[in-house]
Every structure is written in structure tokens, then in C-alpha cells.
Structure 1
Amino acid sequence: MIGRISRMVGRRFIDIAGNLTDPMYQGVYNGSEKHPPDLDAVLERAWDQKVEKIMVTGGSLSDSRAALALAKLHERLFSTVGCHPTRCGEFEAHDGGADAYLEELSSLASENRGKVVAIGEFGLDYDRLQFCPKDIQLKYFEKQLELVKLTGLPMFLHCRNSADDLVSVLERHKDGPWKGVVHSFDGSLKDARAIIDLGLHVGVNGCSLKTKENLEVLKEIPIDRLMVETDCPWCEIRPSHVGYEHVETRFPSRKKEKWESGSAVKARNEPANVVSVPPVPVVPQVVEVLGAVKDLDLDELADRLFENAVSVFFSDAST
């Protein structure tokens, strides 16, 4: 495998999903401080490992503001603006009402073009209806589609156990091919084909590589419809995942209780966590798994994945 990946040194990578505003990067876990803030070190590790761009995801109005503020501090960070389906109750709980919440999202996106590269994270999540009922999710999924049409930005979509409804809504609203990605995909081949038929891409991370069935689905998805992500600080490729057997690279880490400056944190995903450290060749773990599953040259695969992300989210900017 080393010979197969040796040409990857110097390749470029885009992490299309990083929850970098999460308290874990400030050293806080479940409300308890375990170590000093280390986001700057996390970013440095990412840049050192050839991650060229990271999209910081917004999951609510406040999250979107924070994601944008962070993106403005770093040339290679960008943000999304939207409301996660499990948090759509915020629309009607907002002081100014749902219309005001939507308008504030719209203003963030419209007034910060170049830094805001997608509307999202929004969509449907039927696995966690205890956080927001289905009818509210559907209502504000459609409302946020208005932002997509208004801004012309791509979509950064969330879909858990809800592909039929998500596709149905998108088909009903389609005026032309949709542009965007259904991130952290773990659905069926039927789901994937329906999503691709809409003109969308499929985002893959560790949560997409858990089972044999997951890998069989990914084997059938065309390369030109795939993107890679971490969805950090979650969704690392764990030893319990079927895809882990194809991972060749490792990134050294320490438990959060034994944190040291310059060290990654065990079980806390980060953009560089899917990239090896010297002297092992630079290659994302997700790309390794995809290359093994699809029996593809990793050099070519990495190029295609980078180009896919650029074509959807950065086509108006220099790469």
C-alpha cells in the first residue's frame, strides 16, 4: 500500500465539514475544561498536512455567526449558514419570530459572499425527532430552500433516515439541477442514486464507513459525485468500523486528560486526523478507504475529490 500512496505527497485536500466552533477545540468536554484552547494548533496541523480549505459548519443562527466570525480570521476557512433540522424549533422561539430568524440567516449569507459558501447545515433528521418533530423539520427545510434560491448558494444538507422525504421535497421545488452535497452520507444505494439524480454530491466521513453495507454502497457511487470530510470533532474512522481495515495512516494522539501542547486529542476528530504525519506519505484516511473499496489509484482519486469540492463550493474563487 505504501507504494500506492507514495505519490500523494503534495496533493491538496478540502475538508467540506468541520465543526470548529465546538467547545472541544477550546478544551471543554461536556461542560468540563480539560486543557487550554488549541484550535490554532489544530489548524496548523491541518495546513501542514496539505488541507487547503475547511468549511466550518453552521447549525443555527448563533452557530452560523460564530462559524463566519472564525472563517474571517483565517484565509483558508469558509463557512456555511443555516439551521440544523434538530434545531428548527429555534425559528419559532426566536424573539422576532420565524421570519426574522430566516431574514437574519439570509443577511449573513448575502452580506458575506466569498466567505459563506453554502446554505446549511439544513435538511431532515428522523433519527432524533425528540429534539424537533417531523412537521417542524419539514416546514423549515422548505423555508431554508428559499434562502438557496435567493442567494444562489449551494446546499450543505443533513439527511438521517429521511431520504425519501428529503428527495421528495427537493423534487417538488426543483427549477433546475440542485447544487450541493448531502454530507455524512450513510444511506442505501437507492438513496444515493436518488440524491445524485437531483444533481447533488455525496459527502463521506468515518460515519459513512461503519458497515459492509456502507462500503458496498460507496463502491457504486461515481467518483465525480463524491466529496470527503471529517465532520470533526465527530465521525472519525474507528477500529470498530469495517472501513478501518483499509486505513494505512495514523495520527498520534493523547487522552484529553493527558493533553500536551502540540498533541492531538484521542477520540476528538480534527481536519489533520484523517491525514498522516511525516515520514508516512500524506493521504486522508477516507481517501484510503475509498481507494481500496473502489480499487482506484489514490493519486487520481484525491485529485478528483478536490476538484469536486472546488466545482461546487469554490468555482468563483481561485483554487
Structure 2
Amino acid sequence: MHFRSSLLRRAQQSIMKFIDIGANLTDLMYTGEYNGSKRHDSDLKDVINRARDNGVVKMMVTGGNLEESKKAIELAKEYPDLYATVGCHPTRCNEFIEDPEKYYQDLLQLIYDNKEQVVAIGEFGLDYDRTKFCEKDVQMKYFEKQLDLCEATGLPLFLHCRAAAQDLVDILVKHRSRLRGGVVHSFDGSAEDRDSILKLGFYIGINGCSLKTEENLAVMKDIPNDKLMLETDCPWCEVRPSHAGHKFIKSKFPEYPALDKKKWKEGCVVKSRNEPHTIKQVLEIVAAVKEEDPETLAESCYNNTQAVFFPES
């Protein structure tokens, strides 16, 4: 009986399709490098195959600055189910300062030269939790500057927002007529933040970092299903046992043993390094809190993402 129920469960899971809107697959952890030290061989192909085996049909590889955006595009050219975003993260906006126009033009040309791979402008926005890396005024200036990329290309926005929702929304309202919409990813804000983002017509992306506290879960519950997207933000934002959402997880992935990075071997995952296949866990938490059928919710999130980032496919 257990074997038959297991087969049935796997058959049901295979029906679900996912698009991970936030996969930081250019991170050196996937080459086996951690804080400058090589710990194991690259296992990126295994990471991608695990995602495919668990219903992840597309992954958006985020560009955090000009160089990362180039690497994201290279991956998207190598793997047909990967796509790239191009932009500069708020904590890296100091990179604009030396020659703002050149940096902007380099981003724009990168998009023009790789139209088949690039599906969004980003990751960009505001981050007031980490102003030690880049001051608020610099972040705001080059957030606005990158909105020119959105107008020039017609691409949607992949937005980062930490402790800065009011300023983010104010800037988006100011430029609303120039923009095609998009998503505020890795959302962990208040109910008021949620509602102001939704009022603009933007979508909200949910990952493990969005599901840490009971308050997070309550705020997430009231995101309309037709404005919801799912992501992992890997290699970060895994759902940890200490998180409020962890109790709702059903998929444990025993077929992928987790080992410390120093003891890694082929076929295993690296302990505490998140991967796209765990998007199933995000879905399970969101569906449980919302009291929704997981399969129906997965389809809704998939369709939302298709409509915004892949309208012609």
C-alpha cells in the first residue's frame, strides 16, 4: 500500500510545473567555491537536472550587476530552460558612479544583443537594510536610472525591496506610465507594503525568506492567487526548521542526501545551500497557509509567471 501511494504521489507531483523566478545560479557555490575556498567540483548540471526532475521547467537566473548579468546570459545560452535578468542590485549601485552613462549603455547593449535570453530588468530596487554597501541616495538615483532600461526595452521589472517599500512604491508611481509591470521578489514586508505593491498592479514573489515568521505567513496568505509567483532565491533562502512555514513541508527529498560542502560527493546536495528543486516546499507552505489545493495553486503561479515574463511562449 505504501509503495502504491508513493507512486500515486509522484504521479500527482509530476503534473505540477514550476518557474523559479529567482535562481542565483551564477553564484560560485555551484562551482564548489565557498568564501574563496574550493571545496568540491562544480555540480551545476546536477542542480539543474534535479530541478527538471521536480517539475521546474524554467529558471530565471538573476543578474546582480553587469558582470553577473553577462554570466547569467552565458548560462541561458548553455541551458535552454534558463533565462536571464539584466540589472544592478541596489547594494552594488556604486558601480555606476565612475561612469554612469557607460555603465547604463553597457547594460542596455547587453540586453539588445541577447534578446532571446533576457526576460526582465533586474535585480534592482532599494535595500535599506544594507546601506553600508551603498547609501540610500545612490540606490535611489540608480534605481530610477535603470527604469530607463525598462522603457527602452519594454521588459518587465524584477525588483528587490528591503525595508524600503514606501520609497520603492513612490518611485514606481512616479514612473508608472513608462513601465510594463513586474514582480517584487523575495517579499517579506508588512500588510501595508503588500497592499501598496498590489495596488500598482505588481506581482509578489515568495520564497523561504518570505515564510520565516507567523506574521510573514499571515501577510502572504492575503496575496491574491492571481498576483503570486514562486521562487527559491537559491543558493539562499532555504526553508529552515526554525521557520514558521517549515511545519507545512511535505517534500523532504530523501533521494538527495545532504552533506557538508567539505564532504560532498556526486548525487548529493550541499547542506544549507538552496537549490531550485526545493520550490516544491515553498508551494507546499503557501498552499497550506492559504488552504488551497497545491496543484491548482501551482498552475496559477505558473500562469502568472508565463504571462509576465514569457508572454509569447
Query: Please, what TM-score do these two structures have when normalized by structure 1?
Result: 0.93
The question of whether the paired residues in 2 share the 8 Å contact of 1:177 and 1:199 is answered with no
Offset at residue 8 of structure 1 (A) = 3.0
Offset at residue 177 of structure 1 (A) = 6.6
1:75 partner letter: P
Corresponding residue SS for 1:291: helix
Distance 1:166 1:5, change over 3 A: farther
Map 1:232-247 onto structure 2 (within 5 A).
Answer: 232-247=234-249
Structure 1 residue aligned with 2:266: 261
Structure 2 residue aligned with 1:10: 15
1:216 aligns with 2:243: no
Structure 1 residue aligned with 2:117: 115
Structure 2 residue aligned with 1:231: 233
Offset at residue 200 of structure 1 (A) = 0.6
1:43 aligns with 2:52: no
Instruction: Return the match for 1:288 from 284, 288, 292.
Output: 284
Structure 1 stretches of at least 4 aligned residues deviating more than 2 Å after TM superposition = 1-10
Offset at residue 295 of structure 1 (A) = 0.3
1:174 partner letter: R
Q: Deviations over 1:284-315 (max 9, x none)?
A: 01110011100001110010011011000001
Map 1:121-160 onto structure 2 (within 5 A).
Answer: 121-160=123-162
C-alpha separation in 2, matches of 1:154 and 1:174: 12
Corresponding residue SS for 1:72: helix
2:187 partner letter: F
Corresponding residue SS for 1:175: helix
Structure 2 residue aligned with 1:303: 299
Q: Deviations over 1:56-106 (max 9, x none)?
A: 00000011011111111011000000000000000013xxx1100000101
**What is the percentage of aligned positions where both structures have the same residue?**
53
Q: Deviations over 1:184-238 (max 9, x none)?
A: 0000111111111111100000000000000000111100101000100000000
C-alpha separation in 2, matches of 1:62 and 1:246: 38
Corresponding residue SS for 1:80: strand
C-alpha separation in 1, matches of 2:184 and 2:175: 17
Q: Deviations over 1:38-58 (max 9, x none)?
A: 101111111111110000000
Structure 1 residue aligned with 2:173: 171
2:296 partner letter: E
The question of whether the paired residues in 1 share the 8 Å contact of 2:151 and 2:178 is answered with no
The question of whether the paired residues in 2 share the 8 Å contact of 1:12 and 1:51 is answered with yes
Structure 2 residue aligned with 1:33: 38
2:127 partner letter: D
C-alpha separation in 2, matches of 1:176 and 1:199: 14
Corresponding residue SS for 1:119: strand
1:71 aligns with 2:76: yes
1:153 partner letter: L
The question of whether the paired residues in 1 share the 8 Å contact of 2:155 and 2:180 is answered with no
C-alpha separation in 2, matches of 1:177 and 1:259: 45
Corresponding residue SS for 1:120: strand
Corresponding residue SS for 2:78: coil
Gaps of 5+ in 1: 275-283
C-alpha separation in 1, matches of 2:75 and 2:102: 24
Aligned residues: 305
Offset at residue 21 of structure 1 (A) = 0.6
Query: Please, what TM-score do these two structures have when normalized by structure 2?
Result: 0.94
Offset at residue 4 of structure 1 (A) = 8.8
Q: Which has the higher helix share?
A: 2
1:297 partner letter: D
2:303 partner letter: E
